[in-house]
Structure 1
Amino acid sequence: MANFRVHHIRFFEVVPKPINCLTYEPHTEKIALSRSDGSIEIWSVCDNWFQEKIILAVPDHSVEALVWQGTQLYSAGLTGHVTKYSLNQLKPEKSCSSNAGPVWCLVSNASEDKLAAGTEEGCVVLFDTANGDLQYYRAFDKQEGRIFSLAWHVDEEIIVTGGIDNIRMWSVNSGHAIQRLTLGRQEKNKETIVWCIAITSDMTIISGDSRGKTCFWNGRQGTLILGVESNKADVLCLAVSPEENSVFTSGIDPTVVQFELTPISTETDRKAWVSSLVRTQHTHDVRALVFAGKYLASGGVDTALITNLLVKVKGTKSWFRYSGFQHVGLLRTLFIVVGKILEKWFGHLFLLVVIANLQVVFIYRLTILNVYFLQDDKEFITPKLSLTKVKVPTGMLLPAHHMVLTCDGRTLITATCEGTIQLTEVGDDLATLSHTFPSENQPIHLLQVSLDGLLIAAAYGGKQLCIYNTQLNKKIYTLPNYKCQASAMGFSQNSQELVVAYTDQMILEYDMSCGEYTDWSRSNTKTFPIQWQKRHSKISHITHNPRNNQQVILHDEQMFCILDKTVPMTGKDARLYSKSSWQTHGDSNIDKTPKPFHICNKYKYLLHLDTLTEDWLVAVERTPSSILDTLPPVLGTKKFGT
């Protein structure tokens, strides 16, 4: 097995952003997640919780609420607008003003042709979204104080809103309030804020408020059924199961509490809401909870998306932790040497790519491409960097969301928001568009170029992989489809093979001479160790050992490994080999037979790993402790009775 020296970097200060809200679309099995900087992430639940898209933040644009209507995504925020997004172009498509100030909450009706927004000025505003459009429809009567939360009954005739010291029920037809439920105060001069609210089909209203209470109300009679101090501080979010027999709440106190609708006795059909489970997995405030099929997903200030599989154990609900890692892989990666300088010079960056020898820099800012040659003065102890701009004709290139470079730094390959692939030749003083490959009518989420610059691999959202030839200027292969999306891919040193990692941990190799599986893939596909297949983190980068084309280097956020293709898979029950276990434990009983996987768990979270020279690797790490140091203080709690 090859030995490498590792250049270890920890000064790359990537700061993940808190999660603001979550929403789930059951037909496509997608979760949309917004962060505090206004960026939106699309996660595919059916692809083992794979982050497939990122809609980068628009300056001065916040996202306080997200709603799916079929495959269409809408958001609302403090700008007072409701925004519709294009998931192919990964950008806002249309925006409509509420005419009533900032929007704090947004919800869809069951027919998915209307949106209701709760605003700063105390108005419920309806928007018409029929036929995929977005238009202002009308507003309800104005109430005193802002609306923090709202819910739409399944029959679409009632909307319930939560505000300051009260809950109101509204008639959708008339726009008038038909009932007002008053909440008490813990302190005379301290308002009670209803942060979250839901309504079931039998008109049971569930609310969470700033007193730390979860309340259940009879919506038909306007009476309180049950009020429980479920949390030690504000309840910020709640989620109701699709069957409406289970409710989860959480908030500033990151404890997640479950309520179940349970029969009072065997002699009657009457049921009551009972607290049945308490679990703490987050370290900071939980701002969003959502049911995603058989999973419960949660997120908040600690930036982690945690998902739990809900299973029945002996007649009660218990949780199995499916995944709960800190997601720190960012689309906008500022490379180590010039990242901070460039961000200081240019401000908000959309995409940035730096060639490995640090000669050419490409920067996308929204719709503008800037190309620079980079020079460094090596006579100084601290090198001084300078940039020389290369002219790019206006309107030549389409807006893009992925960029890669050939090894000579002279050809830029961009995956555009229109689904096309553009090739740009970079001269000493002018960049020119050389060719455009047509769209496959699907967004591109992965892009890779071979070392010789002749082949381009593009992975599309519909699980399609295409290979393009830059000399022939045409698509030469559509590779065999796999059941999951690709999470990473990399060409071999001789550009004859393409290794692809998928979201179910499968690794396949394709022969570029015929566009089919290689002999290695055909022999080993069904014998991958179960220990490897049960991993939760997805492979995010693939490269090859420069000294040995049969060794593939892969990494995710939790580890990196070397896959030796010369060693056959020994079966699903085989144990993975880890070099660290040899050195740490020295156990003579360890199986010392060669294994195909050599894993290193030394680094976490691993942002990037690549080869520098034949025997050097560079590893960019952001440790969990360094991320926690950037987060605000947590709610103070007593420990051990003190």
Structure 2
Amino acid sequence: MPVDIHRCRFVDYNPHTISALSFTHKSNVKKFAPNELRLAVGRNNGDIEIWNPKKWIHEFTMYGGKDRSIEGLVWCTKDSESPRLFSIGGSTFVTEWDLKTGLPLIEVDSNSAMIWSIAINQSQDKLALGCDDGTVVILDISGGAGSIEHSSFLQRQDSRVLSLAWKGDEFVFGGCADGKIKAWNVETKSLVASMRVDKSKKESTLIWSVTYLPKLDQIVSGDSTGSVKFWQVENYTLLQTFSVHDADILTLTCDADNENLFSAGVDRKIYKFQHTNNKWMINSNRLFHSNDIRSMASYQSKNYQFLVSGGVEKSIVVNPIKTFIDGHHKKISPFPQHEKVVFNDEKRLIAMWSDNLVKIWKLVDKSTHKLVAKMTLTDDENISTVAFSPNGEWLVIGRLTTTKLFRLQEVEAGKKLNISKASNELLLAKGSTNLKFFGNDSIILSTPEAEIYQVSISEEDEPTEIEYDLPESAKKSKLPFLSTINNLVIHNSKLLVSRIGGAIDIIDLETKEVKQFLRLSTNINKLQVIQGGNLIVITADNKIYEFDLKDQHLTPWSTKNTEFLPYKYLSQDPPVGVFYEHDKLWVYGADYLSFFDLKLDISVTKFDRKRKYSSVIGHIDISEQDQIQAATAEDAIEDDDDEVLIDDVDLRSSNQLDFKTLSKDKLSYWMSHKYKPLLFVTPIESLDKSPQQSKDLLVVERPNLDTAENSFKLRQYRI
């Protein structure tokens, strides 16, 4: 059975620069990493992403807005409290974020000039802010969440404070724009020392980064001349200088034992310095990024060792600290793990959103597309979610504080859309994180507070709303965002709702009954109801579970196969989307497209048998040694042979994908890296409207903007 795959390469989604990185917890090599360990990633569009480093999954986003950026991030993490996150960015305000709703919890003015840098003390009860006018402001955050009070202003000097570091709770060190490192005594508020770096012949030397090494009692600075300098704190003298970078050093970070230090900046290289015999020496350097590195962060524990970097290239790069010189690195795709594209099959409309912009294209025929609308919304807040009505006449756009409804009318066939705003006060009063249409006259939305509303948009009657109260989530965590709703799936008249932390509930949209369905101990990533009414749950570690919606039990396929999914699939980045078509479960990520035949058992390799058993109440556990074996053992390459058979042989010879061929080969799963970077994949009605033709696949790939690649092509394959 031939299937047409329509490759769209005109949806020009553009990721954003990484400007700040920060781990929730401090390194501790004597303990295992806590379950709450997360990485905050600040972008230059004002968004802050929360990543789980266990599988490097993007769990939660705090959305920014127009003309906002994130230039600095710090966490306050105490054992008895939930983590608190603070940010600065191109203004005089410091913001504490609500980790449950993703909205600012409190914003406090520095009562000084624009803030350039931020740092937290050892006791994690005070923040230091470095300002444009040379002031260092000390804020007291000891009062708990939402409490930020001015404590003191340290002795002012004349130049911008570009970077900050604390020594315990007593001293603050600042890298300044006049080529000097200043030291302040916090108790006396006085400036106690000033250390000058080398002057540049053409312009002032800027000290973009400073860090303090407590075990050595040393300060390290990185400046605009490309020099890394080590200073002794006892008498504020220079110990060593390394002129290694070809341009500005923008970021520094050190390991837990203060034995390895890393520097990076505009020249794209990461240098590693090693401390041996009371001296620092250059150990190595590596090139992972194609553009400026804006920020680095490190974390070590008994089971983790991460050196994370990011910048203008927009990708997060993860390296091992101990084996930096020859270890394997991981580059996480800059393209989102959550869909930023929606499709309406009735009108053949593709919508993409980014920040406050929405673009809509129309598929005219098999090889023609047209940009029919471009909406730049006047609101400052970035868009969180978008949805089409089934008939293509309505477009709803959600933000964390409001939701807006628009009517779409085709002016010229396949050429232009007329968009008008529809007044609906009930929607305007609610923020939304997820949106779904129930029919053409009703919208289901989830709010940042994890509430569910059904709002009617019928023009014949007065708009009404229904609120559904969800049962409590069983899992308790110090991370409030785990209760956030991350999936809404409508199946017939049933609404399935999942929360990040593992809760799944069912709402009957006809009877208005709400009931608890499942409580999993592992975090949920994707949710989908397939043909026959079974529920597919993809967890944070890429496991695929199939549940019977009637009795809440695992299906026979899941019982036999969930614990033996191919390592090649499990090792991929978390999926962007999932759907069911042609009797197969399709799962895709930023650089892979795969399917599973749920009628066939997965062939188990020797390596698969070695994997430690994990159930819904646990997680996959693959040791580093097992991963090395998986990359080298012959019995672990059987999966690759399947892909070679399909991609390299069948496609070259027949240029078609055919399900009959797959059935003969009895392939239980298939994966291809042919399509990338993938933004969206969905089944669509055949564009030629042939009655014999099955549903096509629409594959949306981001074009290569450097080569102005912009195409819409039809390819026929046998799959």
Do they fold alike, i.e. is TM over 0.5? yes
Q: Distance in 2 between matches of 1:259 and 1:290?
A: 15
**What corresponds to 2:417 in structure 1?**
385
Q: 2:163 aligns with which of 132, 149, 163?
A: 149
Structure 2 match to 1:268: none
1:369 corresponding residue in structure 2: 403
Change (3 A) 1:182 1:499: same
SS at match of 2:407: strand
Q: Aligned pair in 2 of structure 1 residues 482, 628: CA closer, same or farther (>3 Å)? A: farther
Which residue number corresponds to residue 266 of structure 1? none
Moved more, 390-399 or 232-241: 390-399
- Within the alignment, does 1:601 sit opposite 2:673 as a pair? yes
Structure 1 residues 473, 243: CA separation in 2 closer, same or farther (over 3 Å shift)?
Answer: farther
Q: What amino acid is aligned across from residue 554 of structure 1 in structure 2?
A: V
Q: Is the 8 A contact 1:19 1:288 kept in 2?
A: yes
TM-score normalized by the length of structure 1: 0.88
Q: Distance in 2 between matches of 1:212 and 1:439?
A: 56
Aligned partner of 2:488 in structure 1 is 448
Cα displacement (A) at 1:274? 1.2
Q: Tell me what 1:86 maps to.
A: 98
1:490 to 2:528 alignment: yes
Equivalent AA in structure 1 for residue 458 of structure 2: G
Quote the offset at 1:261 in angstroms.
1.0
Distance 1:306 1:628 in 2: 25
CA distance in 1, matches of 2:420, 2:213: 62
Shift, 1:393, TM fit: 3.0
Shift of 1:119: 0.5
* 1:582 equivalent in structure 2: 649
CA distance in structure 2 between the partners assigned to 1:434 and 1:36 by the alignment:
38
Q: CA 1:617/1:629 → structure 2, altered by over 3 Å: closer, same or farther?
A: closer
Find 2:431's aligned residue among 399, 405, 413. Answer: 399
Q: Does residue 340 of the first structure (1) align with residue 351 of the second (2)?
A: no
Q: Is the 8 A contact 2:494 2:506 kept in 1?
A: no
8 A Cα contact 1:159 1:172, kept in partner: yes
* Match of residue 329 from structure 2: 321
Q: Which moved more, 1:229-238 or 1:328-337?
A: 328-337
Q: 1:337 to 1:480 in 2, by over 3 A?
A: closer
Q: Does 1:194 align with 2:207?
A: yes
Is the alpha carbon distance of 1:285 and 1:461 closer, same or farther for their aligned partners in structure 2, counting shifts above 3 Å?
Answer: same
1:299 alignment partner in structure 2: 310
| 2:239 aligned residue | 225
CA contact (8 A) 1:97 1:136 kept: no
Query: How far does residue 262 in structure 1 lie from its aligned partner after superposition?
Result: 1.3
Would you say 1:562 and 2:587 are equivalent positions? no
Whole-angstrom distance in 2 between the partners of 1:256 and 1:78? 26
Match of 2:578 in 1: 542
* Post-superposition CA distance 1:589-616 (Å, at most 9, x none): x998422112232211100001112421
Say whether 1:514 aligns with 2:551. yes
- The equivalent of 1:359 in structure 2 is 393
Alpha-carbon spacing, 1:381–1:162, altered in 2? closer, same or farther (3 Å): same
After TM superposition, the structure 1 = structure 2 runs for residues 6-17 of structure 1, keeping only pairs within 5 Å, are 6-17=5-16
Cα distance in structure 1, aligned partners of 2:266 and 2:103 = 32
How many residues align? The count is 602
String of CA shifts for 1:418-463, please: whole Å, max 9, x gaps: 11111223313553212323474753242122341323232x2323
Change (3 A) 1:373 1:190: closer
Mapped to 2, the partners of 1:82 and 1:597 lie a distance apart of: 50
Alignment-mate amino acid for residue 576 of structure 2? S
TM-superposed deviation, 1:492: 0.9
Shift of 1:91: 1.0
Alignment partner, residue 103 of structure 1: 115
Aligned residue identity for 2:406: Y
C-alpha distance 323-384 of structure 1, shift in aligned 2 (>3 A): closer
RMSD: 2.5
Q: Are the aligned partners of 1:435 and 1:473 in contact in 2 as well (CA < 8 Å)?
A: no
Which of the residues 501, 525, 539 maps onto 1:462?
501
Q: 1:137 to 1:455 in 2, by over 3 A?
A: same
Q: Does 1:115 align with 2:134?
A: no
Match of 2:19 in 1: 20
Equivalence for 1:165:
179
CA deviations 1:110-169 (Å, max 9, x no partner) are 11111101010101101111122112221111111100001011x211111000210011
1: CA distance, partners of 2:290 / 2:326: 20
What's the offset of the Cα at 1:330? 5.6
| 1:526 pairs with 2:563 | yes
TM-score (norm 2): 0.79
**Shift in alpha-carbon separation, 1:330–1:521, aligned structure 2, 3 A:** closer
User: Residue 639 of structure 1 aligns with which residue?
Assistant: none
Distance 1:331 1:122 in 2: 43
Q: Please give the alpha-carbon distance, in whole angstroms, between the structure 2 residues aligned to 1:276 and 1:150.
A: 26
Is the 1:404–1:413 contact (alpha carbons within 8 Å) kept by the matching residues of 2? yes
Conserved? CA contact 2:427–2:455, under 8 Å = no
- SS of the residue corresponding to residue 5 of structure 2 reads strand
Structure with more contact order per residue of length (Cα contacts < 8 Å, sep ≥ 6): 2
Q: Is 1:626 the equivalent of 2:710?
A: no
Distance 2:11 2:210 in 1: 41
Inter-partner Cα distance in structure 2 for 1:404 and 1:446 = 12
Q: Which runs of 5+ in 1 are unaligned?
A: 264-270, 631-642
Structure 2: distance between partners of 1:447 and 1:178: 55
User: SS of the counterpart of 1:575?
Assistant: helix
Aligned equivalents of 1:159, 1:345: Cα separation in 2: 44
Equivalents in 2 of 1:305, 1:585: separation in Å? 35
CA contact (8 A) 1:487 1:540 kept: no
* 1:328–1:605 Cα contact (<8 Å) kept: no
Looking at structure 2, the residues matched to 369 and 530 of structure 1 have their Cα atoms a distance apart, in angstroms, of 41
Shift of 1:527: 1.8
Give the deviation of 1:9 after TM superposition. Answer: 1.3
The aligned amino acid for 1:542 is V
Where 2:256 maps in the other structure, the secondary structure is coil
Establish whether residue 62 from structure 1 lines up as the match of residue 69 from structure 2. Answer: yes
- Could you tell me which residue of structure 1 aligns to residue 586 of structure 2? 553
Question: For the Cα contact (< 8 Å) 2:426–2:465, is it kept in 1?
Answer: no
Confirm or deny: 8 A CA contact 1:305 1:327 kept in the other structure: no
For structure 2, the 5+ residue unaligned runs are 26-33, 78-82, 344-348, 352-357, 361-372, 474-481, 609-635, 654-661, 686-693, 710-719
Cα distance between partner residues in 2 of 1:510 and 1:627: 45
Instruction: Describe the shift of the 1:479–1:582 C-alpha distance in structure 2 as closer, same or farther (beyond 3 A).
Output: farther
Change (3 A) 1:375 1:186: closer
Aligned position for 1:615: 695
Which whole-Å CA distance do the structure 2 matches of 1:440 and 1:398 have between them?
Answer: 22
